[in-house]
Amino acid sequence: MNAYTIADLKAQAQRRVPRMFFDYADSGSWTEGTYRSNEEDFHKVLFRQRVAVDMTNRSLKSTMVGDEVSMPVAIAPTGFGGMQHPDGEMLGARAARAFGIPFTLSTMSICSIEDVSEATGGAPFWFQLYVMRDREFMYNLIDRAKAAGCSALVLTLDLQILGQRHKDLRNGLSAPPKINLNTFWQLASRPRWCLSMLKTKRHTFRNIVGHAKSVGDLSSLSSWTAEQFDPQLSWKDIEWIKERWGGKLILKGIMDPEDARMAAASGADALIVSNHGGRQLDGAPSSLAALPAIVEAVGDKIEVHMDGGIRSGQDVMRALCLGAKGVYIGRPWLYGVAAGGEAGVKTALDIIRKELDLTMAFCGERDIRNAGRHNLVNPDVFKG
């Protein structure tokens, strides 16, 4: 593919995907201030360039919650992946498997747990779970993930209620999408996307339809999703989820040192510093700005990951230098799959790997596990 940066893939995705689905990926809540800060704050972190050091035999290999990875990057759970490209989550999971990094499937994916397991030949992947009012449905989801061989469960804690996302409201994006003159013209303007979507049977949230009570088709899905996210979620819920799951547990959506200490005390294996890509609380700090205080608060009591705003391998390096043991990419993989399917995801991963490798070398490191604050000119940039 003719792409040298994630921005190149984003531009290609915008040309190929109907606006409602592109905007779903490329938007934040309210003023989108936090969404923009997630990207912009990376540029405040400056590297120490070192010279006359041995740059041979470099390695990006690491581990995330004990799983070996070819680089400390995982694909983040994102909704509507299968609307960026037919069978999008299946293609993303295949690309991640070939690359040697984790793929995290969202509860709100278009392709089901079973679809992705089949696409990867039964190879392990991670599954993301929301806390919902329908506990029986949650039990079933957890059991389905176990049966599919998922090696880690990512529990999202920051979606008890939905942030107000103006682009989605203006586009009429819902579950299912509202079909009106606006959406009709959006679809008509992307005939190649429409034709490709006719070749797959996967057009709805297949983890939900046919599995949740009273959700047998698209018409009943919207009302179900509107009432299911549980505003009474508490730390006690983690106990029964952890017991039911019985495997590696990652808590996603931590932005405060006090919550980080609670996450460490819960017995989870890792936490993800995340503001949901700027799609929940607008006016919150960027994930990167919140990272150092959380790392300091928990020490080595729990593994710290982060997501939000990563658009390059240099951004990955910055997060690692500030204490993250691994990062997640959401929009970059969505841009890649939208631009070119499985090959597009591979291109996105290749871009990030090359940029990370070169940046590590310029900083005088040969092993990514040695990246740290000593590689930065201004390691205290986010301290008050």
Confidence bin at 69 (pLDDT 50/70/90): very high
Mean pLDDT of 248-267: 98
Is 156 annotated as a binding-site member?
A: yes
Angstrom distances, CA of residue 207 to CA of 52, 136, 202, 252, 290:
53, 14, 11, 20, 32
In a domain, 259, yes or no: yes
Confidence bin at 1 (pLDDT 50/70/90): confident
Mean pLDDT of 354-363: 98
pLDDT of 308 higher than 80: yes
In a domain, 383, yes or no: no
Is 81 annotated as a binding-site member?
A: no
In a domain, 110, yes or no: yes
Residues of the domain holding 90: 6-375
> What was the pLDDT predicted at 301?
98
- Residue 17 sits at the vertex; the CA angle it makes with 288 and 188, to the nearest 5 degrees, is 150
CA atoms in the 13 A half-sphere facing the CB of 26: 21
| Contact criterion met (CB below 8 Å) for 69 and 100 | yes
> What was the pLDDT predicted at 177?
61
More confident: 376 or 181: 376
> What was the pLDDT predicted at 258?
98
In a domain, 77, yes or no: yes
Confidence bin at 213 (pLDDT 50/70/90): confident
- The token duo for 368 is 């990514």
Confidence bin at 172 (pLDDT 50/70/90): confident
Confidence bin at 174 (pLDDT 50/70/90): low
Is 279 annotated as a binding-site member?
A: yes
Amino acid at 313: G
| Contact criterion met (CB below 8 Å) for 124 and 140 | no
Helix or strand run (H / E) with residue 287? helix 287-298
Is 34 annotated as a binding-site member?
A: no
> How many domains does the chain divide into?
1
Kindly report, residue by residue over 44-68, the tens digit of the pLDDT.
999 999 999 999 999 999 999 999 9
CB count within 10 Å of CB 369 equals 14
Q: Is cis: bond before 176, omega within 30 of 0? A: yes
Mean pLDDT of 215-243: 84
> What was the pLDDT predicted at 215?
82
Is 135 annotated as a binding-site member?
A: no
Comparing 64-68, 126-130, 158-162, which segment has the lowest mean pLDDT? Answer: 158-162
SS3 sequence, 203-215? Answer: CCCCCCCCCCCCC
Is 220 annotated as a binding-site member?
A: no
Kindly report, residue by residue over 8-48, the tens digit of the pLDDT.
999 999 999 999 999 999 999 999 999 999 999 999 999 99
In a domain, 17, yes or no: yes
Active site includes 276? yes
- Residue 141 sits at the vertex; the CA angle it makes with 136 and 142, to the nearest 5 degrees, is 100
**Which is nearest to 321 in space by CA: 74, 68, 102, 44?**
44
SS3 sequence, 247-260? Answer: CEEEEEEECCHHHH
Mean pLDDT of 180-198: 90
CATH number at residue 12: 3.20.20.70
pLDDT of 233 higher than 70: yes
**Which is nearest to 331 in space by CA: 28, 87, 4, 1?**
28
Look at the pTM and tell me if it is higher than 0.75: yes
- The token duo for 49 is 């360039």
Please count the helices (runs of H) and the strands (runs of E) in the chain. Answer: 16, 10
Mean pLDDT of 321-329: 98
Q: Tell me how far apart the alpha carbons of residues 197 and 192 are, in angstroms, rounded to a whole number.
A: 9
**Where does residue 195 rank: exposed (0-12), middle (13-18), buried (19+ CB within 10 A)?**
exposed
> What was the pLDDT predicted at 304?
98
In a domain, 381, yes or no: no
In a domain, 352, yes or no: yes
Compute the mean pLDDT over every residue in the chain, rounded to the nearest whole number: 95
In a domain, 1, yes or no: no
The one catalytic residue among 43, 85, 211, 276: 276
Is 128 annotated as a binding-site member?
A: yes
